[in-house]
A and B are shown apart, each in its own frame.
Chain A
Amino acid sequence: MNTISWSYDFEAIGTNWHLSCDSPADVLRSTIVRDIQQTIESYDQTFSRFRADSWVRKIATATGEYKLPDHAPALLQLYTMLYSLTDGKVTPLIGQALVDAGYDEKYSLQAGEIRPVPLFNENVITIKKRSITLHQPLLLDFGAAGKGQLVDLVASRLRAFQVKNYLIDASGDMLVSANHKPIKIGLENPFDTSEAVGIYDLAGGALCGSAINRRRWGKHHHIIDPLTRKPVAHIAATWVHAGSAMVADALATALFFTDPEHLRESFTFSYVVISSSGEVNASQDLAASLFS
Chain B
Amino acid sequence: MEEDQPRREVSQSSNKTTILAVGVIVAIALLGFAIFAVTGSTKQKDDNQASAANQVAVNPNATYKDGKYSAVGSYTSPGGQEKITIDITVKDGVVTDTSATSGAIDPQGEQYQSQFISGYKSEVIGKKLSTLSLTRVSGSSLTPKGFNDALEQIRTQAQT
Say yes or no: A172 contacts B125, CB within 8 Å: no
Say yes or no: B150 contacts A108, CB within 8 Å: yes
Say yes or no: A185 contacts B135, CB within 8 Å: yes
* Chain B residue with the shortest CB-CB distance to A200: B138
B136 sits at the interface (CB 8 A):
yes
A141 sits at the interface (CB 8 A):
no
Cα A16 to Cα B144 in complex, Å, equals 8
Cα A280 to Cα B135 in complex, Å, equals 23
B108 sits at the interface (CB 8 A):
yes
Say yes or no: B135 contacts A237, CB within 8 Å: no
Pick the contact of B138: A188, A192, A217, A219 (CB < 8 A). Answer: A188
Say yes or no: A193 contacts B122, CB within 8 Å: no
A196/B136 contact (C-beta < 8 A), A172-B141, A277-B121, A291-B127 known: no
Interfacial chain B residues near A171, Cβ < 8 Å: 141-142
A236/B118 contact (C-beta < 8 A), A107-B146, A107-B147, A196-B127 known: yes
A214 sits at the interface (CB 8 A):
yes
Distance in Å: Cβ of A254 to nearest Cβ of chain B: 16
Say yes or no: A217 contacts B126, CB within 8 Å: no
Question: 1/0 per residue B84-113: CB within 8 Å of A?
Answer: 000000000000000000000001101100
Q: Interface residues of A: mostly helix, strand, loop or mixed?
A: strand
Interfacial chain A residues near B123, Cβ < 8 Å: 278-280
B119 sits at the interface (CB 8 A):
yes
Question: 1/0 per residue B31-45: CB within 8 Å of A?
Answer: 000000000000000
Our count of residue pairs bridging A and B at CB distance below 8 angstroms stands at: 150
Distance in Å: Cβ of B140 to nearest Cβ of chain A: 4
Size category of the binding interface on chain B: 35 or more
Q: Interface residues of B: mostly helix, strand, loop or mixed?
A: mixed
Cα A209 to Cα B140 in complex, Å, equals 6
A15/B143 contact (C-beta < 8 A), A186-B134, A195-B129 known: yes
Q: Which chain A residues in 156-212 approach chain B with CB under 8 Å?
A: 167, 169-174, 183-197, 199-200, 207-212
A218 sits at the interface (CB 8 A):
yes
Number of residues of chain A lying within 8 A (CB) of chain B: 59
Say yes or no: B141 contacts A214, CB within 8 Å: yes
B52 sits at the interface (CB 8 A):
no
* Chain B residue with the shortest CB-CB distance to A18: B136
Say yes or no: A147 contacts B118, CB within 8 Å: no
Say yes or no: A15 contacts B141, CB within 8 Å: yes
Interfacial chain B residues near A218, Cβ < 8 Å: 154
Distance in Å: Cβ of A235 to nearest Cβ of chain B: 11
Say yes or no: B127 contacts A195, CB within 8 Å: yes
Say yes or no: A219 contacts B144, CB within 8 Å: no
In the assembled complex, 29 residue pairs joining A and B whose CB atoms fall closer than 8 Å, in A order, are A14-B146, A15-B141, A16-B142, A107-B146, A109-B150, A167-B136, A171-B141, A171-B142, A172-B138, A172-B141, A172-B142, A185-B136, A186-B129, A186-B134, A190-B139, A190-B140, A191-B118, A191-B122, A193-B139, A194-B129, A195-B129, A196-B126, A209-B139, A214-B141, A215-B143, A218-B154, A277-B117, A278-B124, A291-B126
- B-binding residues in A (CB < 8 A): 11, 14-16, 18, 106-109, 147, 167, 169-174, 183-197, 199-200, 207-215, 217-219, 233, 236-237, 239, 274, 276-280, 290-292
A184-B135, A291-B125 known; 16 new pairs, CB 8 Å cut-off, are A11-B144, A106-B150, A107-B150, A147-B141, A167-B136, A172-B137, A172-B138, A185-B135, A188-B139, A189-B126, A191-B124, A197-B126, A233-B114, A237-B139, A277-B121, A280-B123
